[in-house]
A and B are shown apart, each in its own frame.
Chain A
Amino acid sequence: MATFIGIDYQTWWFLLIGAVFTGYIILDGFDLGAGALHLFFNKEESRRIALNAIGPVWDGNEVWIVIGGGALFAGFPEVYATMLSAFYIPFMLFLVAIIFRAISIEFRSKEPMAWWRRMWDVSYSISSALIAFLLGVVLGNVTQGINMGADHVFRGSFTEFLNPYALLTGVTTLALLMMHGAIYLVMKTENRLYAKLTVMVRNTTIFFVIMILLTSFYTLLYLPHMAAVIRRYPELFFVPVLMVLAIANITRQITKRKYMFAFISSAVTISLLMVLVAMELYPNMLLSKQDAAYHLTVYNAASSQKTLGIMLTVAAIGVPLVVGYTTFVFMTFKGKVELDEMSY
């Protein structure tokens, strides 16, 4: 089996795809969070500022899920095919929500009528919240596993994705991204809107802390396999410890009004949550509820060594480029939002 710096290609791709999805949740996460909070702003000017805070970057952020989907398709076609056909309904709703989020941002500013803007505000906010919620629902189902047999074809019912645990992870993800989005917006705003957002940051943080506590208890009680690795390797306990510290640091930085550091802590929290999930799943990617022998793993679901190798080359060239110009774009639009004639 081919390796790169002592790690086999399959594991590399497991890590890389995990990193891309983490990048998506951190980057598009603040867009989605800002969108979910949108209807809490009452004035037209506040809504425009909130929208233009993500205006120049949301499209670039959304691309991360396209890259992640493409990489999953290429690296682990079995997982891509099984997961998408199993979660048919949630993914279709997800796609429709992605369309509505995009066109709401685009279309809102094109007409001055109040009803027109209100209509797109509602559609923008609901679709953003729905995307965040569905991401959590899918994550909740991935951690529980799905009904699939030896042929890796989903045999369950299409309503089983709406189980209590998945609903819980859905709401937790929504809470996490609302907090993340509120912290992003508070960095981009001034004056009265800033003051309003400081309150929203506090409230969403409390909401998230409650939800993550509930999810953690539920996971430990009912999904013991999601703590098996830490039980086996107690030294890995530092990951959840770091996560709790990161969450604590969000509240600390918020109190000190250092929102940049709060945002970084919130990004670290998201990353550590993903690390926890990845650590407990590996080497599995999609669990079978029927039998552990039917799990899709990084080894039985991967593409050929040759393809994984080609893609590593592609990633080695592409990723630094993407990171480079993404940083450039973020630097261009850094600082507080200023509305001009090209704004949404």
Chain B
Amino acid sequence: MNVEILARIQFAFTIAFHYIYPPLSIGLGLIMTIMEGLYIKTGRKIYEQMARFYVRVFALIFGIGVATGIVMEFEFGTNWAVYSKYVGDVFGSALAAEGIFAFALESGFLGILLFGWNKVRPGVHFFSTVMVTLGSMFSAVWIVVANSWQQTPAGYHIVGKGLNARAEITDFWAMVFNPSSVTRLTHVWIGSFLAGAFLVLSISAFYLLRNRHAHFARISFKIALAVATFFSLAQLAVGHSSAEVVAEYQPAKLAALEGHFDGNKAADMFLFGYVDQKNNQTKGLAIPGGLSFLTKGDFKTPVTGLNDFKPEDRPGAVNFVFQTYHIMIAIGMFLIALTLYSSFLWWRGTLFQKRWLLHVFSFSVLLPQIANQVGWYSAEVGRQPWVVYGLLRTSKALSQAVTAEHVMFSLILFTVVYVILFILFIYLLNKKIKHGPYDNHNIDHSPRHIEMADSL
């Protein structure tokens, strides 16, 4: 295999693995903030117990998120040196802002969040929880801005030629608010809130099915369901406006998302289907002219198709882009149905009476995770063959000093490490969930207790 394929596999693998964790941190951060906020407001112990329990779950997720995130920051330089030089002037300032405003904030206050329960007043602790949550949300801001700039570059000019060419900022705010950054950031945030909310829903449903910690689980479930219902619906609107931006600025990607080839025809919108790339056609169940209607407001208007682009300017894996995009949408629709139906039952007062529904919820944690993953796959593979859309090809962005053997070495290294890490993560998460909430009244602060803990 050549360096390009290996380097792409390595980047895709390390970023996909990393991306399991930050959305959970952001989403769980929001829910922890609500729980601890309710504790501060009402003074009821149950909310404190909830906050303490989910902070422990958060700690596990956050730890792996940070460790795998540092890899990403340095991988740009190790594997994609030409890309790094090309985008450094633009991308670098976003990354530096991310470090100083986001990572420093969340990691700084994390110590108080985890270990400060008995050291600071409840108000100060709540402040730390809010800061950690905001920090994790800010970290999404800068990285999504940088990625959006790669999708829809703005506020820059190109200096130099060939391998020495690079993009330089001409207008910082035009770079930050490039055409796609606001909708994509909102899309990412909401995807993260859903990931966190469904983790809590899943854990609570598990307790209710086992008839354990029932009071704790019911209240947690309702908090998470409110968050999940609101953001499932919001995601529909935001996802739609994100697709509109793609339609306007990345026509080749849009055509790949719906498997649309012939630019002289109206474009269909598929519910599901299969792209036959050899014969340039897509088969499946579709709303005829649906994409034309959504993008142009009319069922008959032609939409730019893949055939309008030279073969070297089209995404290679059209069926992959098509399928991942449609899986994301299907999951989004299912989440809306699930949360609306559950909210209806909540209103009727029969929410916890249907065991099959609790079974669905106990596995539902996987759905936003899968949607977040496949959504990014379609966004990134759909951008190919460009690493910076229309400006820099992926094949030209590699480190010239690095050979296939080196990339193979690091790829194997990361695969082994991440597989171990994932097994341990699932094992420890499962253990934490099975242990359940900690009963504050039973915690004995006497020295004897500490000695017992030490003798473990």
Binding site for B on A (CB under 8 A): 44-45, 48, 55-57, 59-60, 62-63, 65-67, 69-71, 73-78, 80-86, 88-89, 91-92, 95-96, 98-100, 102-103, 105-107, 110-112, 151, 153-155, 158, 303-304, 306-307, 310-311, 314-315, 318-319, 321-322, 325-326, 329, 332-333, 339-343
Contact = CB atoms under 8 A, between A and B. Distances in A.
Interface in B147-173: 159, 163, 166, 168-170, 172
A75 B100 CA distance: 14
Nearest to A113: B456
Contacts of B159: 304
Given A70-B96, A80-B84, A92-B78, A60 B169 contact: no
B260 to A, nearest CB: 37
B120 A314 contact: no
B281 interface: no
Nearest to B88: A77
A342 B112 contact: no
A325 B26 CA distance: 21
A319 B88 CA distance: 21
Contacts of A326: 104, 108
Contact of B81 (A59, A84, A339): A84
Contacts of A80: 77, 84, 88, 92
A73 B108 CA distance: 23
A83 to B, nearest CB: 7
A38 to B, nearest CB: 16
Given A74-B88, A82-B81, A103 B100 contact: no
Interface of B: 59-60, 63-64, 66-71, 73-74, 76-79, 81-82, 84-85, 87-93, 95-101, 103-105, 107-112, 114-120, 131, 159, 163, 166, 168-170, 172, 399-402, 406, 409-410, 413-414, 417, 421, 424, 428, 431, 438, 443, 445, 450, 453-456
Contacts of B399: 81, 85, 88
Contacts of B454: 44-45, 48, 339
A307 B87 CA distance: 12
Contacts of B82: 81
B101 A318 contact: yes
Nearest to B443: A341
Contacts of B110: 59-60
Contacts of B88: 73-74, 76-78, 80-81, 303
A315 B163 CA distance: 30
B115 A84 contact: no
A111 B427 CA distance: 11
B104 A322 contact: yes
A153 B89 contact: no
B232 to A, nearest CB: 32
B85 A307 contact: no
A60 B431 CA distance: 27
A98 B117 contact: no
Contact of B85 (A78, A99, A102): A78
Contacts of B103: 63, 66-67
Given A60-B104, A95-B71, A153-B400, A70 B109 contact: no
Nearest to A151: B163
Contacts of A55: 111, 115
Contacts of B453: 339, 341
A132 B77 CA distance: 21
Given A332-B119, A340-B118, A71 B111 contact: no
30 contacts: A55-B111, A56-B114, A57-B111, A59-B111, A60-B107, A60-B111, A62-B66, A62-B107, A63-B99, A63-B107, A63-B108, A69-B73, A69-B99, A71-B96, A74-B91, A77-B89, A77-B92, A78-B88, A81-B85, A84-B77, A89-B406, A107-B428, A110-B428, A303-B93, A321-B105, A322-B104, A333-B115, A339-B450, A340-B445, A341-B438
Given A155-B401, A306-B169, A333-B115, A91 B100 contact: no
B77 A73 contact: yes
Nearest to A100: B417
A75 B98 CA distance: 14
A314 B70 CA distance: 21
Nearest to B166: A77
Given A70-B92, A110-B431, A96 B413 contact: yes
A314 B97 contact: yes
Contacts of B100: 67, 70, 314-315, 318-319, 322
A148 B68 CA distance: 30
**Which one of A62, A304, A315 has the greatest number of beta carbons of chain B within 10 Å?**
A304
B96 A73 contact: yes
A96 B417 contact: yes
A75 B108 contact: no
Given A96-B417, A318-B100, A106 B119 contact: no
Nearest to B73: A69
B456 A95 contact: no
A66 B95 CA distance: 9
B401 A70 contact: no
B406 to A, nearest CB: 5
A306 B109 contact: no
Nearest to A110: B428
Given A81-B84, A332-B116, A59 B66 contact: yes
A99 B89 CA distance: 28
A88 B406 contact: yes
A89 B403 CA distance: 11
B169 A310 contact: yes
Given A74-B89, A82-B401, A103-B64, 20 more contacts: A66-B73, A67-B104, A73-B92, A74-B91, A74-B92, A75-B92, A80-B84, A81-B399, A85-B400, A88-B399, A88-B401, A89-B406, A99-B70, A158-B406, A303-B92, A306-B170, A314-B96, A329-B109, A333-B111, A333-B116
B410 A92 contact: yes
B150 to A, nearest CB: 15
Nearest to A87: B78
B89 A303 contact: yes
6 nearest A-B residue pairs (beta carbon): A77-B88, A74-B92, A84-B77, A56-B111, A318-B100, A85-B399
A187 to B, nearest CB: 17
A155 B399 CA distance: 12
Nearest to B60: A106
B108 A112 contact: no
B112 A56 contact: yes
Contacts of A69: 73-74, 99
B108 A56 contact: no
A100 B82 CA distance: 29
Contacts of B96: 67, 70-71, 73-75, 311, 314
**Most chain A CB neighbours (cut-off 10 Å) among B131, B169, B431:** B169
Nearest to B71: A95
Contacts of B104: 60, 63, 67, 318, 321-322, 326
Contacts of A155: 401
B81 A306 contact: no
